């Protein structure tokens, strides 16, 4: 039963990662950071790194893989936001 819960938890984290994809696509298509909170997505990214480290210490592969997937997608939103914000501020 413990393994089943771990797998469901890992799948839940992968689904969590997928929730960031629409925001990344919107940023990419619009080529602007307007309406995106860098503090929010940067904070999510930091929490995901902490989750990965915690998963490594606990030898919890569901947590490591799920948080890594979330970091990939959320990190993409964070990096695109930084890129477009820097570009916008430098063009002033």
Domain boundaries, the chain: 2-90
Residue 71 CA to residue 78 CA, distance in Å, equals 10
- The pLDDT tens digits for 13-60 are 889 999 999 999 999 999 999 999 999 999 999 999 999 999 999 998
Task: Round the CA-based radius of gyration of the chain to a whole number and report it.
Answer: 15
Residue whose entry in the numeric block shows the structure tokens 């940023």: 27
* pLDDT computed for residue 10 by the predictor: 81
Q: Please name the CATH architecture into which domain 2-90 falls.
A: Up-down Bundle (1.20)
Task: Please give the angle made by the CA atoms of 56, 24 and 70, to the nearest 5 degrees.
Answer: 15
The confidence band for 7, taking pLDDT boundaries of 50, 70 and 90, is confident
* pLDDT computed for residue 9 by the predictor: 85
């Amino acid at each position: 039963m413990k393994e089943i819960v771990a797998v469901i938890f890992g799948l839940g984290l992968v689904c969590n990662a997928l929730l960031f994809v629409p925001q990344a696509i919107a940023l990419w298509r619009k080529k602007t950071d307007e309406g995106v909170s860098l503090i929010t997505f940067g904070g999510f990214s930091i929490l995901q790194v902490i989750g990965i480290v915690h998963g490594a210490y606990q030898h919890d592969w569901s947590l490591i893989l799920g948080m890594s997937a979330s970091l990939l997608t959320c990190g993409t939103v964070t990096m695109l936001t930084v890129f477009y914000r820097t570009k916008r501020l430098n063009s002033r």
